[in-house]
Amino acid sequence: MDAYTRFSAPVPQHDAERVATLNRYAILDTPPEQAFDDITEIAAYICAAPYSTITLVDRDRQWFKSEVGFGTNETGRDDGFCACAVLQSTPMVIEDTLLDPRFCANPFVTGGPQIRFYAGAPLVAPNGHILGTVCVFDSKPRTLEQKQLHALEALARQVMSQMELRLKLIENEKAALAVQTAEKLAAVGRLASSLSHEINNPLAAVTNLLYLARLDESLKPETRAYLETADTELSRVATVATHTLRFHRQSTKPTRIAVVKLVEDAMTLFEARFKNFDICVDQRLSAGLQLTCYEGEIRQLLNSLVGNAVDAMRASGTLTVRAAKATRWSTGEEGVRITVADGGCGMSAETLAHAFEAFFTTKDIQGTGLGLWVSRQIAAQHGGSIEARSRMSGKRRGSTFALWLPLSLRVRA
């Protein structure tokens, strides 16, 4: 076994943190950018070198944000010169690779560009991690003048400045998106409040009229039945309007309530849809469980989960609901786990990845894209969590949402 096959670029201490820092910049595998291409051109010109790269050292590879003369944008980390350069905070210069036992048998020395000279200035992130280099290399042994080496270091600092600028732009875009989302949610909340009030007032009037109409003893039995059905359906509309208002006005005080009641009340709201869509309900709820929570919000959350399950099973299926005591394994905290599983068509991996994002919906104009986003916010505000898994084929096709909530709750400040 020769010297090179025994050698691979050492891994610096805290390399996982170093790679995590690199990934924060979201620059790996991005298209060419003129600002970086200019730097490699200048580096090659100043150092009179045929090759120049801006190299970022990833977990298992070296990736070139820009290159001059090399003709590729990626190499393995083990064979990398720059993978060795990230071990030091000062430039690494190899005047003749054949005289260096680390690289004398390197495939990029013995073949390919036949590198005989290398100089790399480190890309040092603000937290001190070295992410890669600005480097030049040549197919013949040589030296660099001190002013050339200083220029290479200056160019490395410019690369980091460009990367910091990119990061700030990304963060600003995220902040702007967050503001837009908050504004949309505020508008939806105001609209929900307004609609709820506008709907409830005429509903109350019609409900009273139905009550007065049913007092007429001369009504035929079938007419009375029609009026009672109308009253029931109006009550359902009033319930929906009330839950819409709760989207805008959250509870201010937690209450102690039986988990069975919370779940059964949510299921009751969908009884008509269960019947219309031929949905079979498999419900197992542990008796005696008490939960301290902001009741209106948890009801809203459960309504959203059950409603989504029903929407996924428009052509029959089984809705499985479970509620039982459960301990959060990471903290040992006691709580309640409520699972809602449907036998619908399931979600793709891409849909599942975005399911909890605000305004993401697969229901076209029929969906707001807020239900699951709000549900996760409610769970988090209670110190809980909500997770989802889904399959689009097989015996277990469908989606399952698991909600975990602590038994006790601190009052909001």
Q: Exposed, middle or buried, 346 (CB in 10 Å: 0-12/13-18/19+)?
A: buried
Higher pLDDT, 411 or 103: 103
State residue 129's pLDDT score.
94
Question: pLDDT category, 4, cuts 50, 70, 90?
Answer: very low
Residue of 364, 363, 350 whose CA lies nearest to 392: 350
Among 23-37, 45-59, 133-147, 320-334, which stretch is predicted with the lowest mean pLDDT?
Answer: 320-334
For strand 317-328 and strand 333-341, is the pairing parallel, antiparallel, or unpaired? Answer: antiparallel
State residue 2's pLDDT score.
45
| H-type alpha helices, 258-392 | 259-268, 271-276, 295-311, 349-354, 371-381
State pLDDT tens for residues 136-180.
999 999 999 999 999 999 999 999 999 999 898 888 887 777 667
The reported pTM is 0.52
Question: pLDDT category, 34, cuts 50, 70, 90?
Answer: very high
State pLDDT tens for residues 171-227.
888 777 766 766 666 666 666 666 666 777 787 788 888 888 888 888 888 888 888
Q: What percent of the chain has pLDDT over 70?
A: 85
Specify which of 62-66, 260-264, 290-294 reaches the highest per-range mean pLDDT. Answer: 62-66
What is the rounded CA–CA span in Å between residue 151 and residue 43? 8
